[in-house]
Structure 1
Amino acid sequence: MSAVLEKALLKAREAFHRNVTKDVNFRIKQLQQLKRCLNDNKEEFVKALNADFRKPRMEAVITEIDFVNKDIDYQLSHIRDFIKPKYAEKKGLSTFLDTCYIKHEPFGVVLIFSAWNYPIQLLLCPLIGAIAAGNCAIIKPSEISSNTEKMMAELLPRYLDRECYHIVTGGPEEATRMLNERFDLIFYTGSTAIGKVIYKSASKFLTPVVLELGGKSPVYMDDSINMEIAVRRLLWGKCMNGGQVCIAPDYLLCTKEVKEKFINVANKVLKEFFEGDSKNSESFARIINDKNFNRLQNLINSTNGKIVIGGDTDKETRYISPTIVTDVISADALMKEEIFGPILPIITIDSVEEAIEFIKRGEKPLTMYLFTNKKQVYQKFIDETSSGSLVVNETMLQMTVEELPFGGVGESGIGSYHGRFSFETFSHKKSVMIKDYNPIVEFLASVRYPPYNENKLKKLQMLVGHSIVDEINLGKFLRYFLTFSLGIIATITVFILNEKFL
């Protein structure tokens, strides 16, 4: 373990054991400080994102700065409600006078790994949940988006409590050292391959994990739609951040007729988006590094499909144009991995059923996009497929709805967050039951004690096997009420006799 990590862990554990983060006012102050950090340094963050991969200013502000600010505001507005105990409403006769509730308590010291493609959002949104729930945190930004990583390392310690929250920088070696240590929860955003490594490492300590991964998110499109609007929405989602988005549309399934219409409209839309020159457009990001550029270049060179739009590249600036490829089959290079770039393969299908079958043959995706106005069609996808989310006639915007959990299923992830779900993810739900020595309750529950017999068994089943709230059978209710009344009468009688003869 490096000296920096060792010191950070020691400080965080000591702070948590002193219950520093248990105070809701402390949590609120830290969230407010995090917001100040973003807003005080907004332009510097925008510049860092642009230096990393020429992220357009509008995308940097909306999808990074404003997105995180909105998440902070949500937690600040709801945190006092979130921390309130949630009382059990349905209890049986044996526990109806007991106090039973769920207490949300922090896990302890959590470890957060972020990804490079949204280096502010994907680092700070999990941290927001960790803070709101009362955890201490060690956070590891991605070294790939190096300019943003450097800013985070410099700025966060100036605004956040230095005992409870620590940022540790470095490459894969430092991440490996982290995984050799014991944490109370690990939150990771990134590739499925690395997610599996983290899952295995966490198993040594039975550490709970949240894995926000990816996959090939499909798009289905039919002829019932407004084609121009649908193409705009799809290509906006595909081209955002240069296609380097975990929920970006990965490939399109449609009939031959829809494909022809799509290509015609896509040509027009892309020219409008980037004013006929995506290479020099300030609205189109670059690929993050040479490794990812080369991977995407190889996909373009290896496909057996027909490139009908784009296909242009420039290694010096890591530019890859918005590219659409038709006549793609399932065995094609473009279908072997998540594309994570501005390349859209189109696979021709003949029916809804064929599209669903194609999707189901692959791993469960992080999201699924449907462009159709036919309710029976999108309902069929909802009922017959599995994905982290499913969106009809839109792309990407499911991320902005705080009341929807964001997360995958199967190989696209474990667990979810955003809004209340962030607080829930970083909280242990502790069951609490408080019982007193009420003689009536004790009399009713005395049938549980040995020696056992069939009569006691029947009475105990009646006591523990039914919820008072759910019980609607009048006959059974009357029997319960009679038993309860007899218990009260018996107890009062005992008290009177004791008073009379003592």
Structure 2
Amino acid sequence: MVELPPFEHTSLDTLATVGDTLRASFLSHKTRPIEFRLVQLRKLYWALKDNAELITEACKLDLGKPSFETYLTELSWCMNDIIFMQKNLARFAADESAPDISFSNKFFAPKIRKDPLGTALIIGAFNFPIQLSLGPLIGAISAGCTAVLKPSEASPHAAAVMQKIVAESLDPSCYTVLQGAVPETSALLDQKWDKIFYTGSANVGTIIAKKAAETLTPVTLELGGRNPAIITKHADPRLAARRLLWAKTLNAGQVCVSQNFTLIDKEMVDPFLREMKICLSEFYPEGARKSPDYARIVNARQFQRVKKMLDETSGNIVLGGTMDEADLFIEPTVVQVTDLNDSLIKDESFGPLLPIIAVDDLDEAIKIANQVHDTPLGLYPFGNKAEVDKVIAQTRSGGVSINDGYFHASIPTLAFGGVGTSGSGAYRGKASFEVFSHRRSVTSTPAWIESMLDARYPPYTLKKGNQLKKMQELTPDFDRQGRSIGWGGWLMGLLGVKSLAVAVVAIGIRLYLQRRSRL
């Protein structure tokens, strides 16, 4: 067992001044050069690689997380993200030419410049303590921001390891990790930031959004949601059972994007439950409790919260149900529920609970999904193409994984985020750069173009008005009823009816003369 660094709360005196220090570094323009950002990213990569054993041990102590899951969802994720970002950073940061609405605008060289927002506050989450903390930090570094990272105190070993990694690898005048709980977080939120990035619960997200609104600070909120899975009568029951069970047993179900409940066609209930039982025995042949591949609930408070939900359900436990608070163990548990106000439905479980609700048809499933949570973080339809297309067309969500459990959230280059009550803003891949950047519109007006601009100056005359119309007025390709009139109508509008008629006659005469000459 490796020796882990200790977790120590940051003093309030340090908290009061750290923002000023990082802001001064940003205003010195230290982080703006692309090469500086690349060096920071590359150093962070090697620090993660060199401290892989510490990270693995920390996640095991905090969450009972298997080494395999730590590598898959924490370590390799962040390292691959760094490699992707540093390879593409110059392209992401390059100026973009603005789309032209008229040819004359080209003379003003309109472009979009990518500017860093400034000094960012990043507040991480406990369930994937490395990924959900360093992932946003990678974006902040790439965009040219300075940043404070405040990891979750609920995963203290991982938080301490991240503090060590950042302190030893990154420029301390630009990036730092601060530790603490509610008092320390509140003290940080009392400061003025240029960006706040928060991952966690909707309740805390609401508090942060209100606090940020006092200083008009932009916020990205990555929240959870009562995410529905939908299994239609044409779905493959084994495929659905296998994939949804995996989604609810990874990290012992402490995954914000996993399904919170499953709406299943009544014809599929029995086949699905049979397959779920088979899959559970395949995943954990000796039982989840004895398996080294099954994580634990993060702490006693979260254990009691999940236990209370299960204690209060009026549903029927059809699989699992075993718990042990001393070991923070909760077995994967399938519960058949009939009441939408059930404790397992009305709140997010954030644990290995799998409530299912039988429905008469797909329309009822869609209606319930929209009723329970109209903007979940994820949506998971299982069925044929027509059924899946209908589900996507008639629902909303942050993302969708068709015939799977949150696969969309496992692709590092695919923008990830919620909508409505499941969050705002997105990150990962290029989106991580963009979420910490400002798209700054820039034009350059040359001196020689002054004669063209003369029409905008007073006194205004009819001649100047006509000149402006010629310069910027576009011709519509639709009629007064909103119907497209196609290229023929567009050409008629461009040339005028008389001009078009003359052109048609001229073309006809020319074709006639060519034919006569060949004869």
**TM-score normalised by L of structure 2:** 0.88
Question: Which residue identity is paired with 2:379?
Answer: M
Secondary structure of the corresponding residue to residue 128 of structure 1: helix
Q: Please, what is the CA RMSD of the aligned residues?
A: 1.9
Deviation at 1:455, TM superposition (A): 4.5
CA distance in structure 2 between the aligned counterparts of 1:467 and 1:316, rounded to whole angstroms: 74
Which has the larger displacement, 149-158 or 233-242? 149-158
Match of 2:202 in 1: 192
Secondary structure of the corresponding residue to residue 443 of structure 2: strand
Q: 2:82, 2:138 within 8 Å by CA — same for their partners in 1?
A: yes
Match of 1:105 in 2: 115
2:381 is the alignment partner of 1:370 = yes
Count of aligned residue pairs for this structure pair: 474
Secondary structure of the corresponding residue to residue 345 of structure 1: strand
Question: Which residue identity is paired with 2:469?
Answer: Q
CA distance in structure 2 between the aligned counterparts of 1:157 and 1:466, rounded to whole angstroms: 57
Q: 2:265, 2:362 within 8 Å by CA — same for their partners in 1?
A: no
Which has the larger displacement, 151-160 or 210-219? 151-160
Which has the larger displacement, 19-28 or 7-16? 7-16
CA distance in structure 1 between the aligned counterparts of 2:103 and 2:309, rounded to whole angstroms: 65
Question: Which residue identity is paired with 2:121?
Answer: L
CA distance in structure 2 between the aligned counterparts of 1:155 and 1:78, rounded to whole angstroms: 24
What is the 5 A alignment of 1:371-386?
371-372=382-383, 374-386=384-396
Q: 2:400, 2:406 within 8 Å by CA — same for their partners in 1?
A: no
Against the structure 1 CA distance between its residues 476 and 161, is the aligned structure 2 distance closer, same or farther, given a 3 Å change threshold? farther
Question: Which residue identity is paired with 2:294?
Answer: F
Match of 1:442 in 2: 450
CA distance in structure 2 between the aligned counterparts of 1:383 and 1:454, rounded to whole angstroms: 51
Identity of aligned residues (%): 36
What is the 5 A alignment of 1:34-183?
34-183=44-193
Question: Which residue identity is paired with 1:16?
Answer: F
Question: Which residue identity is paired with 1:260?
Answer: D
Q: 1:90, 1:467 within 8 Å by CA — same for their partners in 2?
A: no
Unpaired runs of at least 5, structure 1: 480-502
2:355 is the alignment partner of 1:342 = no
CA distance in structure 2 between the aligned counterparts of 1:418 and 1:255, rounded to whole angstroms: 35
Question: Which residue identity is paired with 2:460?
Answer: Y
Secondary structure of the corresponding residue to residue 147 of structure 2: strand
Deviations 1:226-249 (A, max 9, x none): 322221111001110000001111
CA distance in structure 2 between the aligned counterparts of 1:154 and 1:328, rounded to whole angstroms: 49
Deviation at 1:380, TM superposition (A): 1.1
CA distance in structure 1 between the aligned counterparts of 2:326 and 2:166, rounded to whole angstroms: 33
What is the 5 A alignment of 1:393-412?
393-412=403-422
Secondary structure of the corresponding residue to residue 457 of structure 1: helix
2:465 is the alignment partner of 1:457 = yes
Runs of 4+, deviation exceeding 6 Å: 475-479
CA distance in structure 2 between the aligned counterparts of 1:317 and 1:478, rounded to whole angstroms: 81
CA distance in structure 2 between the aligned counterparts of 1:131 and 1:28, rounded to whole angstroms: 9
CA distance in structure 2 between the aligned counterparts of 1:317 and 1:467, rounded to whole angstroms: 72
Secondary structure of the corresponding residue to residue 418 of structure 1: coil
Unpaired runs of at least 5, structure 2: 1-10, 477-485, 497-519
Question: Which residue identity is paired with 1:225?
Answer: A
Question: Which residue identity is paired with 2:160?
Answer: K
Q: 1:94, 1:444 within 8 Å by CA — same for their partners in 2?
A: no
Question: Which residue identity is paired with 1:452?
Answer: Y
Match of 1:494 in 2: none
Which has the larger displacement, 151-160 or 304-313? 151-160
CA distance in structure 2 between the aligned counterparts of 1:392 and 1:67, rounded to whole angstroms: 22
CA distance in structure 2 between the aligned counterparts of 1:142 and 1:116, rounded to whole angstroms: 5
What is the 5 A alignment of 1:213-232?
213-232=223-242
Match of 2:399 in 1: 389
